């Protein structure tokens, strides 16, 4: 039986269990008139029956699904001729793959060796057996669960409380997914990083200034040892982020000030949504814009002034990234500025200050912590931004502070190391996870600080 | 009273007034300057938006037209069906390329040299032969007849007709040779070159040949991926929001959950890609490149957005409604399912649409889990290898062919149109159902 059919059958059983549970509670109460004698409404008895019918069976199905492939593979390998057992794990997985391919029908059984064909046949037999087993077990569990609950129904059973208890548990586990995700990120990135640091010392990774992760295929090849010093990547990331902040902070801050303190309603009604459009544009579009329009433009302009601008210059990527972050900075700054109490402004006007003096000497200092927090969040976003730099920044690690040259960033290297087929044991692939770890730690730190600052600031005026 | 010289007082007053006025002038100048900077910043934001759209639309609008060339095609049985049995399998293998080449030679009989012939054949796309094959398969009676047909032009010709290949350049700097110019001009003088609406762009998947490449495969991939994302992230997100707003006790665990949600909202998207690669693909063995794994990764990424938006929607429901329901004997769960959720639903849906719009535009994490493969088929299920629209844009932007440039911009316009529709839907939903209590 297919899994989908099995799930459908379970659903049907649950619907039946609901009907039976409901009907039984009504009968025990002595018909619709005796409903007052029940602790809960009849539908809760039905729900309880349905849940206990479906839930354990579902757990059985999922558990079976998770295990059966491995058990079958193990059994098939054991059943194969003795020579297979002596193969190395890598070769063994190749053999298992061959068998799988025959089973899936990708390779006709006639074209492989008889041992593999026999194993494939055994596999298919075990698989159909396992499917039947899963179906029988799940349906039995469902029937038993439903039956037991049905028998336990009595007018005194606190069905509503039980159902609601289960709902609460379900809700709690949904919100636990946030924690699970964080744990998953940390574990997956950390696990691969630890393996990486076994091959390459941490100090070399953090303080080394040479980055050339291409490993040689043969040992005698020129430049055969990959170098994993990430300083050029950090420097490149920093340079591009600095350029981006140099664009987005002044533009974002000033437009927020203008829109909240000066602009009339009409101008504000047009400009705000237009700026928000910038926030909604996918980063791949910005990347294309940077590579197609901004980089050539900068190069031509540079040539006019006698400057040699690389076609993948840090400047182009940084400028476009800055444009992307403008709405982020301006909406945060807007929040912070409007949070400053009007009384402070009135006091300043009363002393005869002009508007700009009020803004510069009263509003901005008052809003400063919040704005700093917002800028930190923006920095963390610039550091983690990927598509713009992948499309518009360079690939070769270059330790320079000149924005006209090509630099590479942490995210660019993660993408280039991981796109395409990869094995999980080469330092090249693992290096991407180590970079991911650094990225995660730095952005986490920035976010935690920024959120703390913003929260403390908001509380100040509430 | 001291005897004060009135003249001195007047002079001092004048001095003070002058100083104040000078200061005022300076301060007003500073005021105007400050205001001008603000205006400049706001306008430059608008300017950036305009420039971005101008540059995308300017390069992309031509992607929606495609050049066709009219040729006299004779369906020669010798080439198509040498056995004369009209058998489908044999027809499928017929030399339709030869048919196209023969008609081109017939049109320009003077061309003989091998290299020149290659250039001549380069006028028509390789896809034209497949079109002819499909025509013959649909109607075998065509064999032996000849017909005037519009054939798909190759990408270089297409670019030339659209005026993107400069005729002024010297011959070695451009893709189209002098002879191809001459042939095209001859065809053009005969009214045999035409631009039409580019349906291929919308109803075919990716291809190595720009003139045969379309966004349909990527659109279907995006749709499947977003279906997985929506199906998982909306129920889970709403459930988490309900728990945090309505049930969660004020304890350490709740704090931990909240901190995690806020931090996840700011984690770079590429880190979610690493998570997907290590956990879903390596550990759980979900097939690589499939919409299923893409949807799972995007679910984790959009969950914080949806949870935060849903919490705001739940918070906006006034407590008096809860109190009233509790007062007439409803349980907490009943309060939530009967009252709070229906009232908060528009806000939650708005949040879900915005989350989906973000997921639709996301590229980086999908690169990590292998959705960057070249896929020439439209994906049919959640486990088929697929790509999504933004990744398609990334792939095309990397292609060296000039004709992919306009197609990249065209695909961006399609993507932006979808985002516009989704955001407009969110705004309309908000305005229509938002209630102020």
**Domain boundaries of chain A, sorted by first residue:** 3-157, 227-460
Average pLDDT of the residues of chain B: 87
Residue B244, both tokens = 């945090």
Q: Which of residues 285-344 of B touch A (CB under 8 A)?
A: 300, 303-304, 307, 331-333
CA distance B113 to chain A (A): 39
Contact flag A185-B274 (C-beta cutoff 8 Å) = yes
**Which of B27, B303, B332 shows the shortest C-beta gap to A357?**
B27
Residue B76, both tokens = 């020669």
Point out the least confidently predicted range of A357-361, A398-402, B197-201, B390-394: A398-402
Structure confidence by residue, pLDDT tens digits, A383-436: 999 999 999 988 878 888 888 888 899 999 999 888 866 666 677 888 889 999
CB atoms within 10 A of CB B406: 25
Structure confidence by residue, pLDDT tens digits, B153-201: 888 888 888 877 666 666 666 667 777 878 888 888 888 888 888 888 8
Closest CA to A446 of B270, B267, B365: B267
State the average pLDDT over residues B256-273. 90
Using pLDDT thresholds of 50, 70 and 90, give the confidence band for residue B1: low
Whole-number pLDDT of residue B127: 83
Backbone angles phi and psi of A211, in degrees to 5: -130, 105
**Which of A289, A436, A443 shows the shortest C-beta gap to B274?**
A436
* pLDDT value at A102 more than 60: yes
Using the Cβ of B416 and the Cβ atoms of chain A, whether some distance falls under 8 Å is answered with yes
Mutate to test the interface with A, among B20, B30, B42 (most CBs of A within 10 A): B42
What residues are paired with B194 via a beta bridge?
B68
Contact flag A288-B408 (C-beta cutoff 8 Å) = yes
State the average pLDDT over residues A263-273. 89
Using pLDDT thresholds of 50, 70 and 90, give the confidence band for residue B59: confident
Size of interface A-B (CB pairs under 8 A): 259
- Side-chain half-sphere CA neighbours of A5 within 13 A: 7
Structure confidence by residue, pLDDT tens digits, A438-451: 999 999 999 889 88
CA distance B166 to chain A (A): 18
Show Cβ contacts of residue B33 under 8 Å, excluding neighbours closer than 6 positions: none
* pLDDT value at B336 more than 90: yes
Q: Which residues of A touch B412 (CB under 8 A)?
A: 285, 288
CA distance B253 to chain A (A): 9
Whole-number pLDDT of residue B53: 93
Whole-number pLDDT of residue A422: 61
Looking at beta carbons, which pairs linking A84-90 to residues 24 or more positions away fall under 8 Å?
A84/A115
* pLDDT value at B323 more than 70: yes
Average pLDDT of the residues of chain A: 86
ipTM of the complex in this document: 0.89
* CATH number attached to the domain at A227-460: 1.10.3720.10
Show Cβ contacts of residue B295 under 8 Å, excluding neighbours closer than 6 positions: B224, B225, B226, B227, B228, B229, B231, B232, B382
Mutate to test the interface with B, among A39, A63, A160, A171 (most CBs of B within 10 A): A171
- Yes or no: say if A252 and A327 are a contact pair by the CB < 8 Å rule: yes
- What distance in Å separates the CA atoms of residue A371 and residue A444, rounded to the nearest whole number? 18
Using pLDDT thresholds of 50, 70 and 90, give the confidence band for residue A225: low
CA distance B377 to chain A (A): 18
List of domains in chain B: 62-198 (no CATH), 216-433 (1.10.3720.10)
Show Cβ contacts of residue A432 under 8 Å, excluding neighbours closer than 6 positions: A413, A414, A417, A418, B274
Residue A416, both tokens = 């280039």
Q: Which residues of B touch A174 (CB under 8 A)?
A: 235-236, 239-240, 243
- Yes or no: say if A77 and A85 are a contact pair by the CB < 8 Å rule: yes
Whole-number pLDDT of residue A402: 84
DSSP A75-123: HHHHHS-GGGGGS-HHHHHHHHHHHHHHHHTSS-GGGS-HHHHHHHHHH
Using pLDDT thresholds of 50, 70 and 90, give the confidence band for residue A220: low
Pick B65 or B181 by higher pLDDT. B65
State the average pLDDT over residues A186-209. 88
- What distance in Å separates the CA atoms of residue B316 and residue B311, rounded to the nearest whole number? 9
**Which of B37, B41, B415 shows the shortest C-beta gap to A282?**
B415
- Yes or no: say if A157 and A39 are a contact pair by the CB < 8 Å rule: yes
Structure confidence by residue, pLDDT tens digits, A107-164: 776 777 777 778 888 888 888 888 888 889 999 999 999 999 988 888 888 888 999 9
Using the Cβ of B31 and the Cβ atoms of chain A, whether some distance falls under 8 Å is answered with yes
Q: Which residues of B touch A192 (CB under 8 A)?
A: 278
Q: Which residues of A touch B278 (CB under 8 A)?
A: 188-189, 191-192, 433
Give Cα B322 distance to the centre of its chain.
43
Whole-number pLDDT of residue B172: 63
* pLDDT value at B4 more than 80: no
* pLDDT value at B344 more than 70: yes
* pLDDT value at B257 more than 70: yes
Point out the least confidently predicted range of A94-103, A237-246, A269-278: A94-103
Contact flag B42-A167 (C-beta cutoff 8 Å) = no
- What distance in Å separates the CA atoms of residue B239 and residue B232, rounded to the nearest whole number? 11
The 3-class SS string of B29-93 reads HHHHHHHHHHHHHHHHHHHHHHHHHHHHHHHHHHHHEEEEEEEEEECCHHHHCCCCCCCHHHHHC
- What distance in Å separates the CA atoms of residue A354 and residue A359, rounded to the nearest whole number? 9
Whole-number pLDDT of residue A462: 61
């Amino acid at each position: 039986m297919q899994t989908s059919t099995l799930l459908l059958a379970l659903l049907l059983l649950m619907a039946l269990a609901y009907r039976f549970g409901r009907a039984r509670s009504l009968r025990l109460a002595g018909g619709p008139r005796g409903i007052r004698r029940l602790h809960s409404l009849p539908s809760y008895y039905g729900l309880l029956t349905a849940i206990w019918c479906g839930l354990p069976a579902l757990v059985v199905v999922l558990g079976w699904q998770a295990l059966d492939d491995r058990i079958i593979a193990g059994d098939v390998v054991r059943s194969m001729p003795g020579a297979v057992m002596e193969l190395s794990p890598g070769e063994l997985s190749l053999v298992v793959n061959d068998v799988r391919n025959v089973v899936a029908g990708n390779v006709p059984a006639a074209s492989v060796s008889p041992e593999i064909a026999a194993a494939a046949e055994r596999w298919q037999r075990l698989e159909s057996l396992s499917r039947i087993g899963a179906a029988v077990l799940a349906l039995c569990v469902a029937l038993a669960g439903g039956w037991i609950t049905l028998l336990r129904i009595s007018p005194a059973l606190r069905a509503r409380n039980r159902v609601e208890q289960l709902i609460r548990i379900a809700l709690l586990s949904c919100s636990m997914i946030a924690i699970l995700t964080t744990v998953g990120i940390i574990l997956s990135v950390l696990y691969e990083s630890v393996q990486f640091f076994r091959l390459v010392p941490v100090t070399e990774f953090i303080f080394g200034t040479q980055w050339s992760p291409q490993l040689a295929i043969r040992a005698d090849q020129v430049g055969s040892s990959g170098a994993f010093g990430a300083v050029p990547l950090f420097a490149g990331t920093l340079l591009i982020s600095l350029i981006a902040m140099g664009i987005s902070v002044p533009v974002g801050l000033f437009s927020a000030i203008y829109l909240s303190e000066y602009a009339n309603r009409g101008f504000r009604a047009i400009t705000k949504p237009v700026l928000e459009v910038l926030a909604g544009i996918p980063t791949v579009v910005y990347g294309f814009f940077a590579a197609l329009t901004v980089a050539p433009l900068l190069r031509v302009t540079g040539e006019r002034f006698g400057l040699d601008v690389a076609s993948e210059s840090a400047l182009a990527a940084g400028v476009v990234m800055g444009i992307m972050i403008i709405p982020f900075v301006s909406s945060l700054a807007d929040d912070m500025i409007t949070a400053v109490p009007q009384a402070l402004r009135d006091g300043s006007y009363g002393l005869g200050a002009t508007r700009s003096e009020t803004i510069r000497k009263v509003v901005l200092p008052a809003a400063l912590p919040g704005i700093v927090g917002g800028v930190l969040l923006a920095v963390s976003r610039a550091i983690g931004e990927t598509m713009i730099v992948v499309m518009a920044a360079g690939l070769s690690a270059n330790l320079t502070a000149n924005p006209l040259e090509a630099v590479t960033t942490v995210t660019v290297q993660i993408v280039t190391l991981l796109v395409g087929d990869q094995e999980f044991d080469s330092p090249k692939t693992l290096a991407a996870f180590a970079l991911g770890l650094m990225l995660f730690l730095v952005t986490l730190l920035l976010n935690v600080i920024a959120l703390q600052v913003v929260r403390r600031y908001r509380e100040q005026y509430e | 009273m001291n005897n004060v010289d009135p003249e001195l007082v007047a002079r001092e007053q004048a001095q003070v007034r002058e100083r104040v006025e000078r200061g005022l002038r300076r301060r007003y100048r500073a005021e105007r300057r400050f205001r001008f900077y603000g205006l400049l910043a706001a306008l430059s934001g608008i300017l950036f938006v305009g420039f971005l759209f101008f540059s995308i639309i300017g390069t992309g609008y031509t992607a929606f037209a495609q050049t066709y060339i009219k040729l006299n095609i004779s369906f020669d049985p010798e080439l198509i069906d040498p056995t004369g049995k009209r058998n489908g399998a044999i027809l499928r293998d017929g030399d339709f390329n030869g048919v196209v080449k023969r008609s081109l030679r017939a049109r320009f009989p003077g061309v003989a040299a091998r290299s020149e012939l290659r250039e001549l054949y380069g006028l028509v796309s390789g896809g034209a032969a497949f079109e002819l094959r499909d025509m013959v398969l649909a109607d075998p009676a065509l064999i032996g007849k000849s017909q005037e047909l519009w054939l798909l032009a190759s990408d270089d010709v297409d670019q030339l007709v659209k005026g993107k290949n400069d005729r002024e350049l010297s011959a070695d700097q451009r893709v189209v040779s002098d002879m191809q110019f001459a042939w095209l001009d001859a065809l053009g003088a005969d009214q045999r070159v035409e631009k039409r609406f580019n349906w291929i762009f919308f109803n075919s998947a990716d291809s190595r040949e720009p003139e045969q490449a379309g966004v349909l495969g990527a659109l279907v991939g995006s749709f499947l991926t977003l279906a997985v994302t929506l199906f998982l992230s909306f129920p889970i997100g709403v459930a988490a929001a309900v728990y945090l707003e309505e049930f969660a006790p004020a304890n350490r665990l709740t704090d931990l959950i909240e901190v995690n949600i806020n931090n996840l909202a700011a984690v770079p998207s590429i880190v979610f890609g690493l998570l997907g690669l290590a956990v879903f693909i390596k550990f759980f063995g979900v097939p690589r490149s499939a919409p299923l794994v893409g949807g799972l990764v995007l679910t984790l990424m959009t969950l914080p957005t949806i949870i935060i938006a849903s919490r705001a929607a739940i918070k906006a429901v006034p407590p008096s409604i809860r109190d009233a329901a509790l007062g007439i004997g409803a349980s907490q769960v009943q309060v939530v399912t009967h009252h709070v959720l229906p009232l908060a639903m528009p806000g939650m849906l708005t949040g879900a649409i915005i989350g989906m719009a973000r997921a639709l535009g996301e590229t980086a994490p999908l690169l990590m889990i292998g959705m960057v493969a070249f896929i020439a088929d439209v994906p049919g299920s959640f486990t088929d290898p697929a790509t999504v629209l933004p990744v398609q844009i990334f792939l095309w932007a990397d292609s060296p062919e000039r004709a992919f440039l306009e197609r990249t911009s065209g695909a961006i316009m399609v993507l932006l149109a979808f985002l516009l529709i989704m955001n407009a839907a969110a705004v309309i939903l908000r305005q229509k159902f938002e209630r102020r209590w």
